[in-house]
């Protein structure tokens, strides 16, 4: 029997989908997964990137979708890497990030969930403030 979904999570990352599914299951929302590499615009704004990705996902699948985008913003380096976190981690890794830091290790992790259907494009954001660990785990 074909399973019906209320909403689809669009990403190339299975782990993000499973995390979202676990959360939405607790609200009775049946979340499907559409694996896709979405267009990622170049922008200093995590919000603008997330909105563009949601539009791209909806235009591809024509179903109610959500996407998630995130970034790490480190105070001592002016909020860097921010929306460029994935590229920076692939390029210099955790050890490289630790080498950039001075005595101020304060940072925040920002996550944006964007919903899109035929008539609505809406985002929800959350942030978690903390400090960067001294060990590259």
φ, ψ at 96 (rounded to 5°): -65, -40
- HEC string of 21-64? HHHHHCCCCCEEEEECCCCCCCCCCHHHHHHHHHHHHHHHHCCC
Let me know if 69 is a catalytic residue. yes
Q: Find the catalytic residue in 48, 56, 69, 75.
A: 69
* DSSP one-letter code for 108: E
Q: Quick one: which of 65, 62, 81 has its CA closest to 73?
A: 81
Contact 28, 22 (CB under 8 A): no
Rounded-to-integer distance, Cα 52 and Cα 26, Å: 28
The residues annotated as belonging to the active site are 69
């Amino acid at each position: 029997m074909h399973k019906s979904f209320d909403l689809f999570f669009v990403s190339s990352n299975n782990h993000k989908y499973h995390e979202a599914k676990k959360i939405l299951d607790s609200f009775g929302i049946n979340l499907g997964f559409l694996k896709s590499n979405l267009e990622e615009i170049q922008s200093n704004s995590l919000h603008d990137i997330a909105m563009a990705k949601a539009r791209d996902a909806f235009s591809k699948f024509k179903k109610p979708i959500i996407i998630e985008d995130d970034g790490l913003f480190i105070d001592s380096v002016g909020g860097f890497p921010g929306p460029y976190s994935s590229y920076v981690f692939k390029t210099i890794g955790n050890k490289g990030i630790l080498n950039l830091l001075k005595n101020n290790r304060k940072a925040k992790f920002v996550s944006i969930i964007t919903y899109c259907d035929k008539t609505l494009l809406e985002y929800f954001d959350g942030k978690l403030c903390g400090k960067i660990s001294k060990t590259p785990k």
